[in-house]
Chain A
């Protein structure tokens, strides 16, 4: 036992731990419920009282990735026995597969737009952050504040002219348009965060490199970038999560080719009414990667969510 007055007693620790774990369990329930519902049959999903123990099925996942039609006995006879495992699952419901659903495409759009905008944002953001950190840029503070203030605008407020602009430039509902848009939105976060990370790298390293005959650009790429790698990686994950989760611009500016998953998932419906297991399956596939990234990010989480204002 420590004698420090500030060290909480064992009993305090136990109580605190119990309460926090209780909260964590309650807060996790909706998430566990989403994941569990994805593996339920439609009747289990809407059973009362809610089913905790159930026979898991992949029906929700199969329904998520396929479009199905209700088949008559004649159609079923013509079709013959299904040859695939997912064909059999659909057949058990009395349906036949009409084709793949749009979920795959929408998910792929999310991946393309998410990674595309993150990559672009990191290139531009790192350069700008380096310049703001190391050089005397005229009106530096004003520019930095301007960059931050772009985050205060409600997306819907700028969506009107962006909508007009994109239709004139032929960018509406294109991957390029969404990548540029998300890059612009994320730049404020990446510049502020990266400036913080680069500020922490001692200038002496670069000065040493410059004396050794490096050009400024070489010093940037060969000395600063490797040093800032952790910071760049965690900033990138933040940008990726933001682009991944974004909904307002996506729902207003995309409808088909470039639509991402968040506007699409709520529109998933089954042959008869809302297919909750399929919605839950779609949500699970979409949300779980973010949870994994959150675990990777945990050390820099605070810094990211406060734009570098709180560094721990």
Chain B
């Protein structure tokens, strides 16, 4: 099978160097490009054409990860973005998910978590570092009235599954899942699956 192509954007050379060495250890992964800033990344992304982008959120002196993710939607909307960050900042996390990231991994997670995230997003799933839930103690959100079916869907969603996976797991049609997901997103007042997963993690919907 062809390896998953990956690009890295991080201003810390030590991070990109060690990460490249690590990812290149696996036959199914291939690092195709490394950029030290958001601007440099946007310039080269067309040439690299990666499937997955590992994006640092804080890059000093220019556009940050959130803005980079936003601009990526115009330049290369098909690239699956994983935000990779050393700081746990909920506002930033929500912002980058809103900007279109489908993954979120902290730098203090085990490298295997990152590995899992890359493989998951490449397969079309969404991956949110489970640790973000334990970091937040905001309690059960109020005023959200989900039907039991919608709750089931959210539970599956929280695993990062695609609509097709959810349909298979719950034994319903893709179309029905799609309807439920739309309804869940609407009730949670979020734009996309990533944000819904963060919600599910914090509200205890995920195991």
Interaction A to B: no
| Chain B interface (Cβ < 8 Å from any Cβ of A) | none
| Chain A interface (Cβ < 8 Å from any Cβ of B) | none
